Structures are given as structure tokens and as C-alpha cells.
Chain A
Amino acid sequence: MTTLHGDIHGAHGHHGGHDHHDGSYLERKGGMIATIIDWATTIDHKKIGVMYLVAVLTMFFVGGIAAMLIRYELIDPVTIAQVDGASVTEGTRLAALFGDKDMSVAEADRIYNRVMTLHGAVMVFMFIVPGIPASLGNFLLPLMLGAKDVAFPRLNLASWYVYVFGSIFGILAIVMGGVDTGWTFYTPYSSSHADPGHWRVVFMILAAFILGFSSIFTGLNFIVTVHKLRAPGLGWFDLPLFVWAMYSTSVIQVLATPVIGITLLLLVFERLFHVGIFDPALGGDPVLFQHFFWFYSHPVVYVMILPGMGIISECIAVHSRKQIFGYKAIAFSSLSIAAISFLVWGHHLFTSEGELAATIFSALTFLVAIPTAVKVFNWIGTLYKGSIQINTPMLYTLFFLFTFSIGGLTGLPLGALATDLHLHDSYFVVAHFHYVMMGGTVIAFLAGIHHWWPKMFGRMYNERWSMFACVLVFIGFNTTFFTQFFLGTRGMPRRYASYLPEYQTLHQISSLGAGILLVGFLLHLALLVGSLIAGKKAPANPWGGLTFEWEADSPPTTHNFHHEPIAKHGPYAFDDVVPPHCDPKDYPLADPLPEGAKAH
């Protein structure tokens, strides 16, 4: 509780409503009901982060089931065979799964469209956008700054409730029978009046609208926290790169989300009052909707990936035990990605906007490649001559470098107009963004979860089995999505339940990969839950990190630190600083020396 800037009004000794100052934040406050109430009303950023982690991983599970259903349907094409003079539909697997095997092809397609929309909407709005910032960001940002909490703790709790409220609207739309607009809600799919799914579409749009508020609340909170609550001596260039990434993410969240807010609000008015702004039947302009939608949804792609990049910067430096290469270049590349992200939305409309606009947006799109590549080169530069420890976070980090680079580089033929005309709306696009979103963000998220798991819950996960699960995820992921690049270049269009027979082999390999991926994720889940029950107790600083969060206990106390930390060295000064609380025997897998060998 010592503060350097305590003022005459009595900052000292004013502890607010917290009861235990030195106990772990996970300490139970009485019985079951008291504990639930304690969590439900908490303003502790760590608990809110954990609550978010549970919530977004639940949505990841829901979206993942939808993904498995998609791959299940695509194991074989829908065909109509002539048997004894009657035509029989074959290959409508989802229709068979959900009841009527003899459903017409059109109805079976409708089921597929809903599952596909469910997968997209849940994964984008409820998992990947809030994912890293709201869970790991919430937990770590104040710790990394040496602060006791985010600037507005109650707003932080409100953001969680808004998130849950919005998700309930989305789930309601799904339970009522689903939405088949695609996650992009393009008009006129989302605005046609005769659609019997009237209220479901309204609910799904409202869900995305409400979730936007939770995103704004988090972003706003983080920006103010970084500006005002840094520990004494912690300058902007002493910040961990994860904080720079979160800051850039927050700028995008605050500046882009209101635009999707008004767009979705107008879309709701479109459905309820038929205002005609986006509906071509009433004189509106559907391309205007696309512009508005992507003015948000393109920047938000970087809301998805920037936090992942922040995690990679942390993991790569700590597990290579080396000063990060090009600190300022990485920090500023995060900000410049955020800035450029607002100028490239038009590349989602290459085939619907004018030629001049397409040319300009194509040129601007290539600009994004520069700061992104700066990051990748700097990460590789950090690895060079580092003492690399291969453990689950590091394995995922290396996995990220591989898959994210593929994702990034396959974006270039999509950003070039001539090649995009061939590739757009094909599986090439699907493969590209899954390599970025999943091979980038989800993989970085897993790296981060394992890197900070000991800090968050005070338990070590099982390193060997987790590395095995990581390898499964790597194999499963690449099997699922690398095949889709081939499907795309050969002309398989996205968003269809059926396909020509010549695509079947590749589709089946892709579905097989999805199965491996599922096994890998379930194994991770079992290992992480298992570690909470039977894991070894984690030391305060298991990896020998130098950022503030490793100075706190594992798990941290309610007030994060016993004393307000003071920045005395850079976040990655591994060359000349001994990490706090660091004991060589705390490194579970570092340099396992063979029996009888002598350490030098």
C-alpha cells in the first residue's frame, strides 16, 4: 500500500471494500452461495478476467460444435440418385442428424446455412473479438502496469454482464431456429420482409449490437488505465509489448465499434419499420451496408489479431530468455496496424465497388503487410541466439509464426485485384482467414493461456501432455485448412452445402483434420481442468519473466502486489537482470541435464 503519489486527502490506508489484502484472489469467501455472490458482484479485474475466460471459452465450444457440424455435412456432396424410378437425395447429413432424412435439398441447404451462420456469428462476435482482451487482457493489463485494478472497475463488471446479456440474445436467436444471413448480415438477406425468421434475425443483430457495448467498455477502460495507472518509473517504452498491443486494440475497439452500432441499429429499424436505407426494394443501397459493415469489421480483424501478437511478443522473449529484438519497432507496428486498419475496408468489396475505389483500396491493403512483417522479422530476430526453452507456450509461439505467416502471405493474392477476381468467395478466402484467425489468434490465445495459467490459478499444467495436445492441434489445424487452399484455387465456392464430386477427397481430408483438432482441444481442456485439481503448485515466477505480473504471487493477492512495484529495469532486460522470485529448480523442463552430467 505504499504510494509515491499519496496525497493529503488520505490515499493511504483507504482500502475500499476489500476484506483480505494478502489472501489469494481465488480464496473462497464462505459457502457456495456467498462465493457465487462474491464473484457475481466482484469488481476485481482478475475475477472478471476469469469470468470472461470461462464465458468466451464456452462460446468457443458452441462455435466449435457448429464447425464440426459443417465439416460433418461436407464429408460427402449432396446428390440426387435415381433408385427404382424415384429420386432419392443422398448426402444431406445434417438433415439426417436433425430428424428428416428425406428432406428436400433446399431445406437441407437451409439447415446448413444456419449452422454456418451460427459458427461465424458465435466465433466472431462472442469468441474472438472479446476473447483475448477481455480475458487475458483484463487479468494481466493492471498487473503488467503495476496497478491495483483497471481505471473503471464497475464499468468492467458491467461489460461482462453486457457481454452475457448480448450472448443470451444470440443464443435465443439460435434456439428459436437459427439465422441464415451469414455472420455479415448482408442486405437483402437480412432485410427481406417476407422471411418468417423475422424476430430471430432481429435478435441476432441486437446481440451483435449489445456485444459492441461490452467491447467499447473494455477498450475505453484499457486506454484510460494505460494512460493513468502505470506504476512509478514505468514509462511508455518500459511497457510490456502485450500492453502496447492491448492499447492499440483498444483504440480500434473504441473508434470502430460505434460505426457497427449505428449500422446494426439501422438494420434493426430496416426490419421493424422498413426504413429503406439498406433495402434495395425500398430504394436503399445494399453496398452502403457493406461499406458500413466493413468499416467496422475490417479494423476489428486487428482487434482479433493484435492481442495475439502481444502474447507472442511476451512468450518469445521470456522463453528465449533474450531481450526482444526491435522493441520500438514492434510497439509502433501495433499502433500503425491500428491506424492502417481504418483505411482498407474496401478490399472486402472488390467485386461490388467501383474500379477506382478497388484500385485504391488494393494499394492501401498492401500497406498492412509492412508493420505485420516488421513484427514477424523481429520475433525471428529475437529467437536468434536465444536460449530457447521448448515448452507449451513456446511451441505454440513457433506454431503461430508458421501458420500466421502462411495466413499473412496468402492475404496478398487476395489483396491484388487480378488474382482476387479468381479467388474471391472461394475456399481460398476461408483458408486464408482461418490461418490468420485460428492459426494466429486462437493459437496465440492458447500460448497465452499456458504461459499465464500458473499465474492465474497458481497451478502448473502437465507440460508433456500439453505439448502432445499442441502437436495434435498443429496437425489437425493444418490438415483442416491447408487442403482448403487447394479447394479454393480449384474453384470450390464458399458457403455451399454441396459440391462437385471431384472435390470430395480434399473435403474429406479437411473433415478428418477437424476431428484431430477436436481431440487436441478436448485434451487441452482436460489437462487444464486437471491441473486445477491435481496440478503442482506454481511458483511466483515459473518462467523467469521480468514484467510486473511475475512479481505478484501465483495466484495474485486481491490487491495484486504486496508493495506497489517500481520499474527498475526494462521488461525484457534478460541480459543483465536476475528475474524476481527466480529459482532454477522452478523451471519444469529447462535444460534437463542427463544423469551424472555436470553443469558448467
Chain B
Amino acid sequence: MTTLDINHGGDAKANRPYHQTYTQASHFRSKDEEFDAVKIGMWLFLATEVLLFAGLFVGYAIFRMMHPEAFANGSHYLDWKWGCLNTIVLLFSSWTIATAIGNAQRNEQKALRRNLLITIACALLFVGIKLTFEYMPKWSGWFLSIDPALSHYESSKTALGGMLHFVEGYGGKRPGSLFDYPFAENPYEPMWWSIYYCATGIHATHVLIGVGLISWLYLRARKLHFGPGHYNAVEIVGLYWHIVDLIWIFLFPLLYLIH
């Protein structure tokens, strides 16, 4: 209400972009004070995010300790190469959004928009890979794998000189009651899948929220809302995006690499 008075200052200001005419909300004494406040607020929110996922990590640790075989058996079905690719995708997107903040500070409008778009694309790519190559095959049907170690799962076709395998889906590896019990090789394996789907599902939801936020940044960036005088939103969404990345950095080894 108080921050969107774009034409507040009359004609002289009307022709200048928003980030140059921006003044802080009326209860702050200066723009710097507002910027600090917004950043502290975001860091506190990030603390809540860490604690939210902490619950899942503690659950993981306890059930892993109680049923190590079930967890080893379950993680065996995850393809670390897709996980690794997704890690690279997210790390790259963290770099692009960090660069976007720098672009806003230096008033590089074109690069800012480009970097925001790349970040959105990476986020969508992450979710796409997750759905297409990780969730779907575990539910049913055939899927594409780049992991030769999985070729003994009745792989019937290969492509690109053995680089790609079409593998029959594992089916039944779904969360909770959707789990097909005949597939369980260990009585506690359904729990592994529950934790896997809860952790990665809640993380993927955060990625999608990030897509929404960064799209909002992009739309505002097109209206020249961000620049050296004002880039609060880019800064704090950037922080949010880093925590989403960071959580994946922990999920990836815990789920895919430890056997």
C-alpha cells in the first residue's frame, strides 16, 4: 500500500524507472533500514525452512538406524546419475540467481532478465527430470535410464551406443498405502519410500514455489522495478532459492549416495 506509489513525486519522477524513484515504506527511516529489515526477515524465514526439513532429516536418521537393510535396499532403486544431474542443474541455477542480484545492483537490465529466465528454466528442468525419470518410472511402465548398472533390470533396448537404456519400470515403489507390497524385498521398505517421497516431494514443492517467485521477479524486472536503488525482492528471493538448493545438497547424498 505504501510502497507502490510510483507516481508519487509528480512529473519529474514519472519518467524515471521505479527503482530510481523508490522510497521506503513510511514506517522506516531510510531505504537502508528497510533493506536490512527485509533481509533479517528473510534469514529468519530461512531458519524456519531449515527446521521444517530438520524434522524429515531426524526421521530419516532414526528409521535408517532402526532399519538399515530396508534403506540400503530402497536407495538401490534410485539412479544416482539423475540425482547428480539435478544437483548440477540446481547449483547452476543458484549461480544464475546470484548473478542476477549483481546485475540488479549494476543496473544491467538485460542480463538481469536473462539470468532470471535461466533460473526459472533450471527449476522447471529439475522438476521435469524428477517427475519423468524418477517418480513416474517407480510408479509404472518403461523408462529411460543412463545408468548402465541398472541394465540387469530386464533392459530390453539400448540407444546411443549403450548410453541410454530403456528399462522396465519398478512399479509399486510408491509412498505409503500406494506401495505395492509384493514388491517389498524388506518388510520396512515402504517406510523408505515414504520418507523418500515426503522429503523430495516437499522439496519439489519448494522448487515450484520458487518458480512462482522468480517469475514474479521477472515480470517486475521487465517493468524496470529493480536497479541499484532498489533490489530488495531480488535479494531475498535469491536467498530463498539458495536454501532450496542447499536442502537438495543434503538430500542428494542421504538418499542417493549412501547405501
Contacts and interface: CB of A to CB of B under 8 A. Distances in A.
A150 B26 CA distance: 11
Contacts of B58: 292
Interface in B18-77: 22-33, 36-37, 40-41, 44-45, 47-49, 51-56, 58-59, 62-63, 66-67
A220 B45 contact: yes
A11 B23 contact: yes
B40 A6 contact: no
Query: Is chain B's interface secondary structure helix, strand, loop, or mixed overall?
Result: helix
A276 B30 contact: no
A149 interface: yes
Interface residues of B, number: 52
A263 B48 contact: no
Contacts of B62: 285, 288
Contact of A148 (B26, B44, B67): B26
Contacts, number: 156
A569 interface: no
B47 A255 contact: yes
Given A262-B55, A274-B176, A5 B1 contact: no
A42 to B, nearest CB: 10
A273 B177 contact: yes
Contact of A261 (B31, B52, B188): B52
Contact of A16 (B5, B22, B31, B195): B5
B201 to A, nearest CB: 9
Contacts of A147: 27
A256 B26 CA distance: 32
Contacts of A152: 37, 41
B155 interface: no
Contacts of B49: 258
A290 to B, nearest CB: 13
A600 interface: no
Contacts of A16: 1-2, 5, 25-26
B176 A223 contact: no
Contact of B51 (A10, A43, A255, A284): A255
B238 interface: no
Contacts of A285: 62-63, 66
A349 to B, nearest CB: 15
Contacts of A69: none
Nearest to A273: B176
A224 B40 contact: yes
A226 to B, nearest CB: 10
A309 to B, nearest CB: 23
B1 A43 contact: yes
B194 interface: yes
A151 B26 contact: no
Contact of A224 (B1, B31, B44): B44
A279 to B, nearest CB: 9
Nearest to A253: B48
B2 A17 contact: yes
Interface in A1-36: 3-7, 9-11, 14-18
A515 interface: no
Given A153-B27, A275-B175, A288 B190 contact: no
A259 B26 contact: no
Contacts of B30: 5-7, 9, 11
Interface in B106-157: none
A151 B52 contact: no
Nearest to B58: A292
A148 B27 contact: yes
Interface in A220-277: 220-221, 223-224, 227-229, 254-259, 261-263, 265-266, 269-270, 273-277
A286 B37 CA distance: 41
B33 A228 contact: yes
A154 interface: yes
A289 B48 CA distance: 19
B54 A276 contact: no
B187 A283 contact: yes
Interface string B159-200: 000000000000000011110000000011011001101100
Contact of B194 (A17, A142, A228, A276): A276
Nearest to B201: A269
Given A43-B2, A273-B177, A283-B67, 4 more contacts: A17-B2, A150-B27, A228-B37, A229-B27
11 contacts: A6-B29, A7-B29, A7-B32, A14-B23, A14-B26, A148-B27, A220-B48, A276-B176, A282-B176, A283-B187, A283-B188
Interface of A: 3-7, 9-11, 14-18, 43, 142, 147-155, 216, 220-221, 223-224, 227-229, 254-259, 261-263, 265-266, 269-270, 273-277, 282-285, 288, 292
